[in-house]
Structure 1
């Protein structure tokens, strides 16, 4: 059996050879490494025609409309996004699998179907959709960053891929992840590091970091990531996108590869990422409408509810009351995030909604319980994959830990864990914490003035905008909602501005909440953060996907009108 490095070199060459030569930007035409913001490069590089630029700059809503009336063919749309995805890959290293012929054949079949039948195959007809590497497509690798899994091609599609194809979508690329998926940044020994298009010195987040970077470059209109502790929301936030973490059981997961399979307490979920909330809605409405509970036994048979989307249980969307969590009691966010929260608060007040402070309870305990459940056998799980080729376990996301060949040497580790009884106690504790948090939420009815509890929580997605590579050392602001299984969605608010986002925290009157709070405060550099997307997170209750999507739309409109009317964002 070849050693793991030999397999990696072969895989890298395979990916390089899968790119049509005419779609490769010449090396001397690429921006220099010193150019950090590369988001505008696809528009200027002359690799895309004016029509291809028009297509790839269009919203999901416009794409679906133009595909449905045959104004644009699926072959045209898929080709345009494929070419732009290849450009993006050369700039931010976001792809793992490229299968042009297969995708274009699928697109052509859809064009023929539309012509012959006079109607679309489904609500996502002709739309290219990118997929996180772990989502199986028949005949294609799902390495998940493990050299040991190179060449283990999937023998069948994951359920979600079958569902997407039944809806008329065109799966066209797979995107980069960290080895094991259990990182909030994106690097592995096969494909290397994915960087942030807004500033290549910063992380794109993880573990769906390839998706985040690709969609931010408009190399895909709609992508699918997974989230067990923030892996959709963190890259969505760092890359200025919308990313929905549904509750467990709303989107089919069966047939994907994963870490910690069999750990059924804090479940990983699949969810959409897009540059618009309309893209997120289109995905959720279509996938839920496909009744995938007939294909995946863990999917809850809950059809899409227009009543829930129209906020019937939330005063029909009028005079809502939001709770803003300024910090989680553990870490105070850095200045750009604090400004983002203030923008949202003022925008909602101006739009006629109410805003009250949200008091977090037991976040430290919830996070410790989730970590304990994961740690029950996580190292044993990783070791089971790595031992065949004596492949190293990636133990750091810092660039300094990677050698000249792009490899992380890994660390020696010994699998440990806890007894089944000890795991049961952690699961029992999580259940008690969920019950306590539910009561805490319900009790806010006495403070909202609406007769209802808080309609949703507004909070940070992370304590900072995208940090330097290796600097994303916490997922606390997202992971807590996984522990509670609350539906949550990121939305972009603004961009960091070094002239506005100065650190005015008074450390005499506001002592550090924790060591991590001190570290987070000390790492803030306004110049480094300048231009990075500012995003926040809207959190609803369990199974409130429709309501969360609608409330994100309401917040988005409020922000847009606030910025338009005020002409400036508050410090």
Structure 2
């Protein structure tokens, strides 16, 4: 990466210049009338703004990524047509919810034209992602483009090479066209920074789409993209996916290649982050993961596990073909009780699985506070040195995401800690190792309950105690972060939506924690009406294919009811 000198105190001028350059990258004919500030639901704007043709609406409304890939491969829709349609819809989404950072449509259309010419000349696709527009979180480097990751000090940093993941996506025939917004530092379940501002939820602009891959979540929820790549160190893929009603997958930390990306806490490997997809469909998630693994990423990224894609594992051949599985179900994690629509989603999923011939047994919360403590200790061990090194231009560090609160207010769990010694970090790693062993033993011990002779095949859990919430109201990400600490793959999937007739707020007088009471007080069935309610399915470390295959079983069961 290269960067021009950054003058102290001039960060606002650099931000203004960056925003002007982003604005200039939008074709003027794609600008739409300003959306009134009091219009909170902007999900219908793509249909009412007049920018998209009927065919472009048909293309971008495709319900499944596999359908889009089939039409591209057969030539029914050209790559230029598809790229144009999604580029226009992405620009609409940007004007509605502020989700984009880098816009490079001209390059994308050139790439799409090359793919169309290849298909015409050879009669076959360039790769399994031929012609598919894919969006990327603003930390995945593309040669020649800036990667600011929401830091003013990083404006002007131009990538000298593509990240390994970018190279493999391009080789597979993908069309990269936009990058998406993130929170400053990445370490938030919401999305806002001092460079690009705040990203909003398409169904309610006073609500957050989550974070840190919040720009991806908002963009895909508006069908400005059908498949994107984010990262997850504590829920940063799964929180936006669950808030926005999408599929989102956090693989084990070293299954997909991360070399060449920029990151917060870069070098911290006690609880490492994972790259993974968000999509409108499970086929999009599975196709991307399979495509990248089949490209043998360990040949280009030194920390990627050299485990080839297993189609047998994906098809659950070692689990009776997925006919009679046994699931654990975790109703809560013990510190924050899920709100009614999440509880109903759990009940619906259990009923659907049992109706499809599967078994579901209860999984009791145990030692989750320890998982969270280990992760937070790992993230805060540097005494804020990493964050401080990234705001050298005088840009303030955002400490609160609440728009009605002083952004410098420091929540107790974000208070910087004294720097840990090497010895203390070693002890933390030993504690994590012991927790992982305890969870493995506990998982294996369920063999006595499942009736299959195997331990549970997967665990069903809330992805969080709530649906999307108003800006500034995200609390502890314990439901997701526990699986980062354990390094287990996890797939978020949509189940239902908030329905005031079914999800009335119960009367509670006793609460498990301050956060539990905050979640309860925040929930309002009428205000939250129509927001997606999602869950996650979790499996053992490095069993990505199995989790994706089981995700298909769960999806089929839910469709059955």
Match of 1:567 in 2: none
Describe how 1:330-345 pairs up with structure 2 within 5 A.
330-345=335-350
* Residue in 1 that maps onto 2:525: 526
- Looking at structure 1, the residues matched to 41 and 555 of structure 2 have their Cα atoms a distance apart, in angstroms, of 25
Alignment of 1:73-88 (within 5 A): 73-88=78-93
| Secondary structure in structure 2 of the residue aligned to 1:366 | helix
Q: Say whether 1:355 aligns with 2:355.
A: no
In the aligned structure 2, how far is the partner of 1:239 from the partner of 1:18? 27
Q: Tell me what 2:400 maps to.
A: 396
Paired residues of 1:252 and 1:292 also in contact (CA < 8 A):
yes
> Residue in 1 aligned with 2:452?
450
Q: TM-score, normalised by structure 1?
A: 0.94
Check conservation: 1:233, 1:243, Cα contact below 8 A. Answer: yes
Partner of 2:58 in structure 1? Answer: 54
Which whole-Å CA distance do the structure 2 matches of 1:413 and 1:303 have between them? 42
Specify which of 379, 386, 389 is matched with residue 384 of structure 2: 379
Structure 2: distance between partners of 1:6 and 1:206: 26
Aligned partner of 1:39 in structure 2 is 43
Match of 2:326 among 321, 324, 333: 321
- In the alignment, structure 1 segments of 5+ residues that lack a partner are 403-407, 563-571
Distance of 2:37 and 2:547 partners within structure 1: 39
Residues 311 and 468 of structure 1: CA distance in aligned 2, closer, same or farther (over 3 Å): same
Distance 2:365 2:312 in 1: 29
- For the 8 Å contact 2:380–2:417, the answer to whether it is kept is no
Q: Deviations over 1:517-568 (max 9, x none)?
A: 2222222222221111000011111111111111111111111111xxxxxx
Q: SS at the partner of 1:316?
A: helix
Deviations 1:68-92 (A, max 9, x none): 1111111111010000000011111
1:472 matched residue in structure 2:
474
The within-5 A match list for 1:165-314 is: 165-314=170-319
Aligned partner of residue 203 in structure 1, secondary structure: coil
For 1:81 and 1:449, the matched residues in 2 are separated by 48
Distance 1:505 1:323 in 2: 28
Partner of 1:119: 124
| Counterpart for residue 492 of structure 1 | 494
How far did 1:116 drift? 1.8
Contact 2:249 / 2:491 at 8 angstroms: preserved in 1? yes
Q: Helix, strand or coil for the counterpart of 2:80?
A: helix
Q: How far does residue 473 in structure 1 lie from its aligned partner after superposition?
A: 1.5
In the alignment, is the contact (CA less than 8 A) between 1:380 and 1:416 conserved in 2? no
TM-score normalised over the length of structure 2 = 0.96
3-state SS, counterpart of residue 527 of structure 1: coil
**Aligned twin of 2:3:** none
C-alpha distance in 2, partners of 1:364/1:443?
21
**Counterpart-to-counterpart distance in 2, 1:61 and 1:230:** 26
Identify the residue that residue 431 of structure 2 maps to in structure 1: 429
Distance in 1, matches of 2:309 and 2:416, equals: 46
Secondary structure in structure 2 of the residue aligned to 1:323: strand
TM-superposed deviation, 1:290: 0.6
Report how many residues are paired: 550
Q: Which residue of 2 aligns with 1:71?
A: 76
Aligned to 1:195, the other structure's residue is in SS state coil
Q: Which residue number in structure 1 is paired with residue 539 of structure 2?
A: 540
Q: Would the aligned equivalents of 2:381 and 2:417 in 1 still touch at CA under 8 Å? A: no
- In the alignment, which residue of structure 1 is the partner of 2:556? 557
Deviations 1:151-188 (A, max 9, x none): 11111110100000000001100000001100000000
Deviation at 1:215, TM superposition (A): 0.2
1:452 CA drift (Å) = 1.1
Report the CA distance between 1:43 and its aligned residue: 1.9
Q: What SS is found at the alignment partner of 1:65?
A: helix
- Cα 1:15–1:378 change in 2 (3 A) is farther
Unaligned runs of 5+ in 2: 1-5
Question: Which residue, 2, 14, 24 being the options, matches 1:7?
Answer: 14
CA distance in 1 between counterparts of 2:51 and 2:514 reads 49
Q: Distance in 2 between matches of 1:561 and 1:160?
A: 36
* Corresponding residue number in structure 1 for 2:135: 130
Residues 460/63 of structure 1: CA separation in 2 closer, same or farther (3 Å cut): same
Partners in 1 of 2:329 and 2:288 — Cα distance?
28
Q: 1:413 to 1:496 in 2, by over 3 A?
A: closer
Q: After superposing the two structures, state which structure 1 stretch, 473-482 or 408-417, moved more.
A: 408-417
